[in-house]
Structure 1
Amino acid sequence: METLCLIPARYASSRYPGKPLVPLEQPGGGTKSLIEMTWETAMAVPGLTRVMVATDDDRIAGAARGFGAEVVMTPAACRNGTERCAAALEVLDARPDIVVNLQGDAPLTPPWFVTDTVAALRADPGAAMATPVLAMEEATLAAFRADRAAGRVGGTTAVIGRGGRALYFSKEVLPYGAAPGAAFHHVGLYAYRPHGLAAYMAAPPCDIEDREGLEQLRFLHEGLGVACATVEARGRTFWELNNPEDVPRIEDALRRNAMIKEKDV
């Protein structure tokens, strides 16, 4: 099956303008931009037919081409990464079986998160989309709660029903009072069937999508099935770059993940 991976990236983020080009210190020295690290993550995933950065910004496009990425330009009017993926698909000659959306703020995504998500979509013929979730350990759950206590909009949680289908996603820590292992961190990654993307684009934005700022809620609002792949961190730390305060968290995670890789070798 042909699987196209798109990395949507925009410069004008309301929470963190210029985020894709933010430099991150590397464990071995030097820096790399957020978008370059995310592209390297995608390139390490087996089974992807093609990897492209989808953007509306010439600065991001120039940086991406500079480190060797293929780029597709999309309209500035795209409201989120899913709309940007749909717009990219319209201008490309490719007609993939599955479209992967690896959002440009998730450089810590392990390759198996992507392969497990694609596998979950293939295993659920009635789902329009699949997305990974990660059971939170104590430290991650504490970080989520610290963000909310400080009034920061940080990571996203998922509530899952029987059969592994999503019930809801929220920027709040749900379910209320959940202990470590019983709350799920939603990973910024999606795999769509093309007809699911088309159905999403045919529907207007809904109230819960706008309130939470979460594009995947339009799928649930329209009754489109969302399969959740419960993935394992295998000792790795996962975190998205949502706010400037996340930069040291991610740089620390890069160092710890590098040590885990060295031990594996």
Structure 2
Amino acid sequence: MDTPDRGARPELMADCANCFGLCCVALAFARSADFAFDKAAGDPCVNLDDGFRCTIHPHLRDRGFKGCTVFDCFGAGQKVSQHTFAGESWRGDPGRRADMFAVFPVMRQLHELLWYLDEALRMPAAAPIRPDLLRASAEVEAITGFPAERILQTDLEDVRAPVADLLREASRLTRASIRALPMTGVRKRVGPGADLMGADLSGLDLRGAELRGALLIAADLSGADLSHAELIGADLRDAELAGADLATALYLTQLQVNAARGDARTALPSNIQRPSHWAP
């Protein structure tokens, strides 16, 4: 089966050096297992320094900020900071501050769509719909270049719906040559949106499986073969991926991998970094 080229567009990867710490300011979080204290949207985190850097970045998990280590803006931070607001930070202008913080979460969703479309465009089997994918990518890209006020007028659902249809079709075409396995035992539960929280899926052959939107929280996927399995929207928080093969998994994001547990044997796509908190 053809394997997708997993090269990543740099502009769809977070570049904190060119961002005004937007994820540390614009977004709210609540005290929980993921965050050590409450923070309101628009309030700078106390760990953010004057240069927009996190003062405890190497120790986030130890200090109770697991949630920060699993976040990914898909490059929206630097796009808003350097393009939408032309390199002018939120610190000097209250009006700019409000607009910048409002635009950031919208831009993040647009960049996430671009990430998925970029991957679909790299799937050789999706060649029949390549013109449609290119058109959709260009349309989303154009929105990200709009002025702030126009970005805020964007109906994200109107943008997302046709893109979702194309992504599903690209996945279907890519998975089409995978031999269907007998749906026995736990495999009967595998499918889009499946509730597999805590499920023992260790060592299973899940090649080409549709796990779109599946709940895989704390599931044991150690040693599982997820080659060309679709994982868009799957919740992998605390899922065990030790020794699993995700090298060609479809629509796998850095955020999902950061939220899971793995080790040096876990096979990942070339555009995904192995989290530093994983086991050796």
Class of the TM-score when normalised by the shorter of the 2 chains: under 0.3
Q: Which has the higher strand share?
A: 1
**TM-score, normalisation: structure 2:** 0.26
**TM-score, normalisation: structure 1:** 0.27
